[in-house]
Amino acid sequence: MTQHLTAPAAAQADADATPRADWWRDAVIYQVYPRSFADGNGDGMGDLAGIRSRLPYLRDLGVDAVWLSPFYASPQADAGYDVADYRAIDPMFGTLLDADGLIRDAHALGLRIITDLVPNHSSDQHDWFKRALADGPASPLRARYHFRPGKGESGELPPNDWESVFGGPAWTRTTNPDGTPGDWYLHLFAPEQPDFNWENPAVADEFRSILRFWLDMGVDGFRIDVAHGLVKAEGLPDIGSHDQLKLLGNDVMPFFDQDGVHAIYRAWREILDEYPGERIGVAEAWTPTVERTANYVRPDELHQAFNFQYLGTHWDAEALREVIDTSLAAMRPVDAPATWVLSNHDVTRHATRFANPPGLGTQIRTAGDRELGLRRARAATLLMLALPGSAYVYQGEELGLPDVTDLADEVRQDPSFFRAAGQDGYRDGCRVPIPWTQNGPSYGFGAGGSWLPQPDSWAALSVEAQTGDPTSTLELYRSALAVRRSHPDLGAGTDVTWLPDTAPGVLAFSRGDRGDFVCTANTTAEPVRIKVPGRVLLTSEEVVLEEGELSLPADTTVWWSV
């Protein structure tokens, strides 16, 4: 008998999931980029009111928590990652009352809220920095940042050879109140983002207070921006290489992943633990190895760290198996869950990464083969959601959105685009506002336009167009998250059991003590014949079963109940 099976075959969401103490160990966390999710007041820019109105969508999608990129008062030199006031909402996003309402509504729907905390640097419009500049070289406030005299005869050269992640020198020279050229200050990112000096006790005090402010507001955790950057090596030593940007991520640098950062997270963990309900900290820590990433999630530090090694792995069975094994092995000794992520607001969306040849990195400027990219993206998502630990979903990936690779230079806003030779530069392509409806201004994003233009082809990718279509990517995500919720073994534990005798290019593993869940993924361009291990739960593409065998199509993942 031949049986045709298409994508969503499965279970209903477990509506009243009971709150669990260790909810974060297998949580699926959805990243909302506030500028681009939903616009409540029709000004073309997303806001808290918009997010609030779409919370039921996220509940129905089946995620456990929502991480919000920064919504604090900010001049927006780096899309809100330049914070002028950590306890205020930028008027463009709403008010503290809106934030309070959003947190309450989310909780009523069973969703947790994680906010973004940016402790490595402030905005140059932060009160401390403005006063430090205005008060001149003798200002004690300068000790809260890294001010240094320049090198050269008249201090005309930067204090050391560090480069900004966004390109250009990591130092900017100040002008004294009397108009003469003054000291330089350090900024690992844009000049509008001066780095805090974490050796200064006022900085540490202030952030402990900010943590409490948001915990008192009811947030369930923090995503910690540039968590690996807070402490700089003593004396700010030169790197001595002109290839710093290439070194990033491969070597320990004097400004990244210094051992001193861990004392900060131990202090923060004590604060998190004072609050009920398991409030968590998630590190954005770019480190050379998953083993060094594990240092951030030791039992008395943070709870999770992003797995950027996984994000950077191409759609290739061997490479994926290796990164899965090393990630799980690195987390086991520290008893932290592994995490998995394919997309976020800083990298080219995975539907576009996988549409291009491997080896291009995570900032890609070509659309590639869209159909292939989407097919692989769907397969990659089913693979990711079958792994033990916590998974991150970036807004719009559930619609199969590609990166917008042809944005005109005039509309771009990414600060690194304007600072040539930076590591990033094309991050606007993954930040284009979400299409909710097939018609209407900005496809239902808001009543007005959208701050970055949406391609016409996005009408067909809208939530409205995909809802109820069993072949759509949105319904695939909904089904996958429903199966994950109802299946006790998915997400739990710390290991996978690789199945023997698997063809090259195919990943096959079982989960759970009884091995009653199996995931098979064909990463090759050709169909592969496999033995049917059980009953099909979900597939990323249509499959055809024949007498106990299956021709597993190219770039396809299948979930099985055994």
Residues that bind ligand GLC (CB under 6 A): 78, 81, 118, 189, 225-226, 284, 345-346
Helix residue ranges per DSSP H, 2-146: 48-53, 55-61, 96-108, 127-134
Tell me the three-class secondary structure of 432-454, residue by residue. Answer: CCCCCCCCCHHHHCCCCCCCCCC
State the nearest-atom distance from the C-beta of 125 to ligand GLC, in Å: 15
* Residue found by looking up tokens 């949105």 in the block: 474
Residue with Cβ nearer ligand GLC (378 or 427): 427
192 catalytically annotated = no
C-alpha pair distances (Å), 226 with each of 88, 148, 312: 21, 22, 18
State the nearest-atom distance from the C-beta of 394 to ligand GLC, in Å: 11
Taking the alpha carbons of 364, 370, 376, 382 in that order, is the dihedral positive or negative? positive
Q: Of 28, 132, 47, whose CA–CA distance to 450 is shortest?
A: 47
Q: Which is the catalytic residue, given 225, 397, 398, 403?
A: 225
State the nearest-atom distance from the C-beta of 401 to ligand GLC, in Å: 18
Residue with Cβ nearer ligand GLC (451 or 517): 451
Q: Of 445, 357, 450, 343, whose CA–CA distance to 407 is shortest?
A: 450
State the nearest-atom distance from the C-beta of 361 to ligand GLC, in Å: 15
Taking the alpha carbons of 361, 367, 370, 374 in that order, is the dihedral positive or negative? positive
Residue with Cβ nearer ligand GLC (163 or 225): 225
Q: How many helices (H) and strands (E) does the chain have?
A: 14, 22
d(CA 148, CA 142): 10
Residue with Cβ nearer ligand GLC (123 or 466): 123
Residue with Cβ nearer ligand GLC (286 or 509): 286
Q: Are 273 and 303 in contact (CB under 8 A)?
A: no
E runs forming strands in 352-473: 390-394
541 catalytically annotated = no
State the nearest-atom distance from the C-beta of 250 to ligand GLC, in Å: 17
Residue with Cβ nearer ligand GLC (78 or 398): 78
Residue with Cβ nearer ligand GLC (341 or 519): 341
Phi first, then psi: what are they for 195, rounded to 5°? Answer: -75, 135
Taking the alpha carbons of 427, 430, 434, 438 in that order, is the dihedral positive or negative? positive
Q: Which is the catalytic residue, given 205, 274, 300, 318?
A: 274
Instruction: Find how far residue 87's CA is from the centre of its chain.
Output: 23
State the nearest-atom distance from the C-beta of 188 to ligand GLC, in Å: 8
Instruction: Find how far residue 261's CA is from the centre of its chain.
Output: 21
Number of neighbours of residue 176 by Cβ within 10 angstroms = 12
State the nearest-atom distance from the C-beta of 35 to ligand GLC, in Å: 12
* Residue found by looking up tokens 């005798």 in the block: 501
Residue 95 CB burial class (10 angstroms; 0-12, 13-18, ≥19): middle
State the nearest-atom distance from the C-beta of 172 to ligand GLC, in Å: 16
Tokens, residue 292? 């060094």
d(CA 374, CA 310): 18
Number of neighbours of residue 14 by Cβ within 10 angstroms = 13
State the nearest-atom distance from the C-beta of 346 to ligand GLC, in Å: 5
H or E stretch covering 473 = helix 473-486
Q: Which residue is nearest to ligand GLC (CB)?
A: 81
Residue with Cβ nearer ligand GLC (214 or 306): 306
Residue with Cβ nearer ligand GLC (31 or 327): 31
Residues identified as active-site:
225, 274
